Amino acid sequence: MRHIISVLMENEPGALSRVVGLFSQRNFNIETLNVAPTDDPTLSRLTLTTFGSDQVVEQITKQLNKLIDVVKLVDLTEGQHIERELMLVKVRASGAQRAEVKRTVDIFRGNIIDMTPSIYTVQIVGESDKLDGFLQALGGMHILEVVRTGVSGIARGEKTLSL
Amino acid sequence: MELLSGGEMIARFLKDEGVEYIYGYPGGAALHIYDALHRQSDVKHVLVRHEQAATHMADGYARATGKPGAVLVTSGPGATNTVTGIATAFMDSIPMVVICGQVMSYLIGEDAFQETDMIGVSRPIVKHSFTVKHPSEIPAILKKAFYIASSGRPGPVVVDIPKDMTMPNEKYEYSYPESVSLRSYTPPAKGHSGQIKKAVDLLLAAKRPMIYAGGGVIMGGGAELLTKLAQQLEYPVTNTLMGLGGYPGTDKQFVGMLGMHGSYEANQAMHHSDLILAIGARFDDRVTNDPDKFCPSAKIIHVDIDPASISKTIRADVPIVGPVIQVLEEMMALIDDAPARSNQDAIGNWWKQINEWRQVHGGRYDTSSDKIKPQAAVEACWRATNGDAFVASDVGQHQMFTAQYYKFAKPYRWINSGGLGTMGFGLPAAMGVKMNFPEETVVCVTGEGSIQMNIQELSTCLQYGLPVKILCLNNGYLGMVRQWQDMNYEGRHSNSYLDSLPEFKTLMDAYRHQYVEIRTKDELDAKMEEAFAMKDQLVFINCYVDPEEHVYPMQVPRGSMRDMFLSKTERT
């Protein structure tokens, strides 16, 4: 099953390599990963998605918790949560295709954020499924480049992951 | 406040932390620190002949005392030479702080002379690591390093110190940090009372209980309490390789080591038990055999300081995360208050069954052979040392024979590389013990293969007067490799024969140590006593043992706990 693990950790050099190293060292997989400092500059927030059985994910969270740099973590998929991913897509858009791309972007509530006479650059935000869906919808088009941020997430309601 | 340079701070901190010996080897990036050490006399530096040995010496000290060992090396090769020792300590949860010199901070990343990214190299084998970015951080970082190394589940910590952090003329205020605060690290202080109650209820109702105790019982200081608990309950106890000595090896409730080379009765009892109290143990693959076939009818109580050890390979029914002493104390109190137990008859039957199993193999080996059996050599060593020596071991058949036949009566006496299986560990580990326990008998049981992996330390022994006794079970082969080749490769001994062994007698002469040779069975005891009688000298006991011998019992690969080879011709 897919899990989104959100980690609050010390904003120190080397902290990220410990987290990433743990995954290769212990044969866990990382599907997506993103990390940035929080409003408290001493802390970073790292979000990763991984696939594994309950037993494997339990080990992942326990092993992550053991890292001295990790302050707190939560498996967002254990409760109600919101997840978002941002994607930038550069797609060939000329002739008849130009209107078709525009329509598809509108349907997926994306934005065209840059253009040339033959290219649209599209920004689209949502759950990973929606991003996959958009790429599928563009199936017939000539996609030049895709950039995805990986999943970010936060728990619904009053639950927070903070100090 | 006093003004000290970074180098002086390191020396002073070690003194204030109560470190008596630091093991190491100097080099460019560590020279300021070495100079500071030279200008004080509280902390004594022990110069090894190879940095790996420094880590094993510190490790031996830590295993014998439960306190963190300290190591000091230079950057680059000095640091990378400690990797095996750090990994050894990591696998066995041994507290250790390794201070590594590093090139000047402004050179880092430029492939400077003797530069290695030691933080990166050591990352998967340390509990944590630090880089010093300003000299004034040194006391706080070292305090954190010692605290992290020795608290919770212990482990090695690396502190990387660029040379410009220790400049003699750059002085900063020094004060010894009395306490540490780390917002992201709080070792468990107390097991969950509800879980402990549940565990005790299960324990008191069990019909076929087993206590399976590992190295965590020893390092957690819980050996005495566990012994008390086991004896009050009158339940059988088995120890892991790391846990030997955690329960008296000569006691009638002790059923021997379990696992790959565990006793027949320990493995059978585990397999048939209905309740396992696992404490300070981690269900290692050398213990469980095939985890899918592991102890099918047992409920499992698992006590450990590290939550990640629980349900990692074997699912625990009652997980308890906490320090062994606190959990055992709470268990004892509940047992004391418990009403009369109803499982007495069942326990009587259980012991009857176990005693029958004891007759099946019983640690037997061929005593009629003309050759010296390695088991007999270990037993003779046990007799010559009254079963009360510190025994450090290398890795291989001799290690297993020692685990099986040297009946450890006390904790902290059995010093071996259980998790990593590091050949070359034995001699320096024994030296680390001897240095701190000069009045005690310290033996290194080794083979002619292992001993050559750190044999250069014979020189260190001479320099510091470390009269350890080296018992070399010499069979001319890498015995354990040979055993596997006999069993799995139709006896093709690929590279397991050690040709061109040194003349150990000449070698001991060169290092000015003593040499005793044992070639026949009838001289075993007398020669052993002769060697151990030379209290103030290092003696190399070259004991020629039967090269054909295998270690038994041995679990059948991918079987259950109870599936064992009992000799070359018998299996369960």
- DSSP characters over B59-101: HHHHHHHSSPEEEEE-STHHHHTTHHHHHHHHHTT--EEEEEE
Domain count, chain A: 2
> Is the pLDDT score of B551 beyond 90?
yes
Q: What is the mean pLDDT of residues B412-437?
A: 98
Q: What is the mean pLDDT of residues B28-50?
A: 98
Does A163 sit within 8 Å of B183, measured CB to CB? yes
Does B308 sit within 8 Å of A63, measured CB to CB? yes
Q: Please tell me if residue A52 touches chain B, with a CB cutoff of 8 Å.
A: no
CA distance B140 to chain A (A): 16
Catalytic residue, chosen from B163, B373, B434, B469, is B163
Separation of alpha carbons B539 and B469, rounded Å:
5
For residue B136, the tally of other CB atoms under 10 A from its CB is 16
- What pLDDT does A163 receive? 86
Catalytic residue, chosen from B9, B13, B17, B51, is B51
Interface of B with A (CB under 8 A): 119-120, 123-124, 127-129, 131, 148, 182-185, 306-308, 311-312, 315
Percent of chain B with pLDDT over 90: 98
Does A68 sit within 8 Å of B308, measured CB to CB? no
CATH number for the domain spanning A99: value is 3.30.70.1150
- B114 catalytic residue (yes or no): yes
- Per-residue H/E/C for B499-545: CCCCCHHHHHHHCCCEEEEECCHHHHHHHHHHHHHCCCCCEEEEEEC
Q: Please tell me if residue A43 touches chain B, with a CB cutoff of 8 Å.
A: no
Tell whether A100 and A42 lie within a shared domain: no
- B113 catalytic residue (yes or no): yes
Tell whether A8 and A64 lie within a shared domain: yes
Tell me the residue range of the domain where A125 lies.
82-152
Helices marked H in B173-308? 193-205, 215-219, 223-233, 264-272, 285-288
CB pairs A-B closer than 8 Å: 36
A23 is a domain residue: yes
A103 is a domain residue: yes
**Which distant-in-sequence residues (6+ apart) come within 8 Å of B524 by Cβ?**
B372, B376, B377, B380, B518, B543
> Is the pLDDT score of B335 beyond 90?
yes
- B51 catalytic residue (yes or no): yes
- B439 has which bridge partners? none
Q: Please tell me if residue A90 touches chain B, with a CB cutoff of 8 Å.
A: no
Tell whether A128 and A108 lie within a shared domain: yes
Say if residue B411 is exposed, middle or buried (CB neighbours under 10 Å; 0-12, 13-18, 19+).
buried
> Is the pLDDT score of B280 beyond 90?
yes
Does A68 sit within 8 Å of B123, measured CB to CB? no
The whole-model pTM stands at 0.96
Catalytic residue, chosen from B423, B480, B508, B561, is B480
- Closest B-chain CA to A62: B308
Q: What is the ipTM of this complex?
A: 0.93
Tell whether A64 and A115 lie within a shared domain: no
Q: Please tell me if residue A78 touches chain B, with a CB cutoff of 8 Å.
A: no
Q: Please tell me if residue A55 touches chain B, with a CB cutoff of 8 Å.
A: yes
> Is the pLDDT score of A80 beyond 90?
yes
CA distance A26 to chain B (A): 10
Q: Do the two domains B2-174 and B193-360 of this chain adopt the same fold? A: yes
CATH number for the domain spanning A59: value is 3.30.70.260
Candidate from B120, B124, B182 with C-beta closest to A68: B182
Report which residue type is found at B237.
V
Tell whether A93 and A70 lie within a shared domain: no
A133 is a domain residue: yes
Tell whether A108 and A71 lie within a shared domain: no
Tell whether A88 and A148 lie within a shared domain: yes
Nearest to B154 by CA among B76, B66, B231, B225: B66
Does A25 sit within 8 Å of B184, measured CB to CB? no
Candidate from B123, B184, B307 with C-beta closest to A71: B184
CA distance B284 to chain A (A): 15
Q: What is the mean pLDDT of residues B441-460?
A: 98
> Is the pLDDT score of B1 beyond 90?
no
List, for residues B342-377, the tens digit of each pLDDT value.
Answer: 899 999 999 999 999 999 999 999 999 999 999 999
- B13 catalytic residue (yes or no): no
Tell whether A26 and A43 lie within a shared domain: yes
> Is the pLDDT score of B258 beyond 90?
yes
Does A71 sit within 8 Å of B120, measured CB to CB? no
Tell whether A9 and A70 lie within a shared domain: yes
DSSP labels for B280-300?
Answer: S----HHHHSSGGGS-TT-EE
Does B120 sit within 8 Å of A17, measured CB to CB? yes
Give the mutation candidate from A7, A8, A62, A69 for the B interface (greatest B CB count, under 10 A). Answer: A62
CA distance A104 to chain B (A): 46
**Which distant-in-sequence residues (6+ apart) come within 8 Å of A72 by Cβ?**
A7, A8, A161, A162, A163, B184
Whether the CA torsion A129, A132, A133, A134 is positive or negative: it is positive
CATH architecture, domain B193-360: 3-Layer(aba) Sandwich (3.40)
| Contacts with A10 from chain B: Cβ below 8 Å | 184
Q: How does residue A96 score in pLDDT terms, banded at 50, 70 and 90?
A: confident
Q: Please tell me if residue A18 touches chain B, with a CB cutoff of 8 Å.
A: yes
Catalytic residue, chosen from B110, B113, B133, B228, is B113
Tell whether A98 and A147 lie within a shared domain: yes
Q: Please tell me if residue A162 touches chain B, with a CB cutoff of 8 Å.
A: no
Tell whether A31 and A66 lie within a shared domain: yes
- What pLDDT does B179 receive? 93
List, for residues B159-214, the tens digit of each pLDDT value.
Answer: 999 999 999 999 999 999 999 989 999 999 999 999 999 999 999 999 999 999 99
A162 is a domain residue: no
CA distance A5 to chain B (A): 17
Catalytic residue, chosen from B114, B231, B353, B537, is B114
Q: Which of A29, A48, A79 is the last residue of a domain?
A: A79
A45 is a domain residue: yes
Q: Which of A60, A79, A98 is the last residue of a domain?
A: A79
A144 is a domain residue: yes
- B234 catalytic residue (yes or no): no
- Closest A-chain CA to B119: A14
Give the mutation candidate from B184, B282, B304, B306 for the A interface (greatest A CB count, under 10 A). Answer: B184
- Domains of chain B, residue spans: 2-174, 193-360, 374-551
CA distance B321 to chain A (A): 12
Q: Please tell me if residue A127 touches chain B, with a CB cutoff of 8 Å.
A: no
Q: Which of A52, A79, A106 is the last residue of a domain?
A: A79
A160 is a domain residue: no
Tell whether A87 and A141 lie within a shared domain: yes
- What pLDDT does B498 receive? 82
Q: How does residue B327 score in pLDDT terms, banded at 50, 70 and 90?
A: very high
Is the domain spanning B2-174 CATH 2.60.220.30? The answer is: no
CATH of domain B374-551: 3.40.50.970
Q: What is the mean pLDDT of residues A117-130?
A: 97
Separation of alpha carbons B119 and B23, rounded Å:
20
> How far, in Å, are A24, A50, B120, B126, B184 from residue B123 at the CA level?
12, 22, 5, 6, 18
Q: How does residue B284 score in pLDDT terms, banded at 50, 70 and 90?
A: very high
